[in-house]
Amino acid sequence: MEYRKIKDQDKDGDVVADDIESLHGKALSAGNFATLGGSSSEKSKWKRKSIVTLALTVLTSSQAILIVWSKRAGKYEYCVTTANFLVEALKCAFSLAALGRIWRNEGVTEDNRLSTTLDEVSVYPIPAVLYLVKNLLQYYIFAYVDAPGYQILKNLNIISTGVLYRIILKKKLSEIQWAAFILLCAGCTTAQLNPSSDHVLQTPFQGWVMAIVMALLSGFAGVYTEAIIKKRPSRNINVQNFWLYVFGMAFNAIAIVIQDFDAVMNKGFFHGYSLITFLMILNHALSGIAVSMVMKYADNIVKVYSTSVAMLLTAVVSVFLFGFHLSLAFFLGSTVVSVSIYLHSIGKLQK
């Protein structure tokens, strides 16, 4: 539970939504981004895209490994809200540090200055709102679905991301890429199957509706972040991140006051923290930044593939680290995911 909450915030917390109409009006097509952002050559773009994708994959899988490690080491009694706040604060600090370096080397320009307009900054609090709504729903969905069932249902995010990516960002996926996306969802779910997975089929109607709503919220969040970050392609990503994370900090501070004010006051802010808690916070901060970078230099589709591959990597690494056994379902799911990645790349060429 604790992990999931941090993780969900991390993935969706750096999400900014804008008014859909305004986005439509400005026609944020792939072509626009390509021409506006084209300061470096295609090759260096590809290299940057590969590096951020690789970073996201490695960070996401090490995230899951840290969780297993922390579970093995016993339960932690820290406040989830304080950990979430620290993740946001750390991301803010990293963004400022990166900006400081850039200012020293390149000087302050229109694109990397921190000061902003109301028009630019007004959309940045929205991800935090989306996050709050999703977190609220998350408490309700456990009335209908158990935790492993919820992990299975979360794969609906893959489909919702694809659909909203198409609708909101108006980017086209080829027929083969759509097929690949359905396969990615089926493959990831297959890889996670265990003997008790069939319980999820007994989910009542309300549970399905909530799972779909949450998948849509999560998809919206991801696609909106991409829209907002790419809306100003020349704006420095660290400035964009800074504003995203500032509002993340603010909303998490409110959450601390509402939910855990007494605990923090009586036991202290860092009560129950251990080395592994700090490592998890560091990891979540870094992978949050990696998500933003993938949104800036690649897209939500790459993000989904990256986190899916991370899920498979985690399982393989866990075999060596923790002596886990891989199931036949895992091998079948991995095969389907691999074919999906292949088809996605083929589909791109034939588009």
- Contact positions toward its own copies, by CB under 8 A? 152, 175-176, 179, 182-183, 186-187, 189-190, 193, 195, 197-198, 200-201, 325-329, 331-333, 335-336, 339, 342-343, 346, 350
**Which is closer to its own copies, CB of 201 or CB of 258?**
201
Measured from the CB of residue 313, what is the shortest distance to its own copies in angstroms? 19
CB of 146 to its own copies, least distance (A): 14
- CB nearer to its own copies: pick between 106 and 198: 198
Q: Provide, rounded to whole angstroms, the least separation between the CB of residue 159 and its own copies.
A: 11
Instruction: Identify which of residues 132 and 193 has a Cβ nearer to its own copies in the complex.
Output: 193
Nearer to its own copies, 122 or 335 (CB): 335
Q: Which is nearer to its own copies, 180 or 244 (CB)?
A: 180
CA distances from 106 to 92, 114, 164 (A): 21, 14, 37
Q: Provide, rounded to whole angstroms, the least separation between the CB of residue 190 and its own copies.
A: 5
Q: How far is the CB of 328 from its own copies (least distance, A)?
A: 5
